[in-house]
Structures are given as structure tokens and as C-alpha cells.
Amino acid sequence: MITELRARTRMPTANLKSSIRVSKGILKDIWEEARAKDFSFFGMCLKTNRIFEVDDVITLSLNLELDVGNIGVAQINARIARINKLVGFYEYGVEFDKKVIKNPTGSTAKDLLRIENFLTRQAALTARLSEQKIA
């Protein structure tokens, strides 16, 4: 397994839905949708209008919608590693909790790998189809 953060290519996230927990109440948590831009086993890029600072820890929920079901991560902590302020929203580079990443046999890590593997196959198929259209 590649352990360097940027050694893995980040995949486009066509069907990946992500949410950020913005409030933890007594009876229920409040989640806000954030648009996923790219994804890898180690982290992802999110777009939202919510303001965070570098090194803030956020809680994410991920759900990859497939024809045959879903692959989901109910909750994972992530650290804000990079911020890019754009017009009307922010783009955040986040790194997933290192405890989860260092335990690839854990259920959350397995789900992250399943999401990454599906997105990798999807990107490869898209590239092959676009090459066939050009030829």
C-alpha cells in the first residue's frame, strides 16, 4: 500500500455525496452537504460555503451511490490541510484521520478503499470511452 499522501492519484467523484457535521445536538446531529471534488484513500477535496481554518478537525459522512447499492462511511474525522478561497465558497483539502488510515483492516478503511477502487475503475472506463470516441 502506498503511504505517501500525494503518491495516490485523486479520482473524480461523480456519484460521491459528502456531508459535514456542523452541529452535535443532544438528540441529533446536524449535517450540511459539501460537494466532493476529488477523492483518495488519504483525503479529499471539498467545496462548501462553511468557514474553517487550517488544522481544524471536521467530521464527514460519505456515501457513494451505485446501481447495486451504496458504499458509505457514516463518520470519519478529517483535518483541514489546505484552503482555497473562491468566489462564494471555499475549497478545502482534507486529510482523513491517520488512525483509520494506518489500520487498513478496519471497516472504515476498507470502505474508503472500496470507494477509491470504484472511482479508479470509473475514471479508467471514462478515459477508455473518450479515447474510442476520438479514434
Backbone φ and ψ of 97, nearest 5°:
-50, 125
DSSP 96: E
User: What is the reported pTM?
Assistant: 0.81
> Could you give the 3-state DSSP secondary structure of residue 131?
helix
Q: Give the separation between CA 94 and CA 103, rounded to whole angstroms.
A: 18
Q: How many residues does the chain have?
A: 135
Q: What superfamily does domain 9-134 belong to in CATH?
A: predicted glycosyltransferase like domains (2.40.10.220)
pLDDT along the chain (135 residues), means of 10: 54 78 85 92 94 96 87 94 93 95 91 91 81 69
| Domain regions of the chain by residue span | 9-134
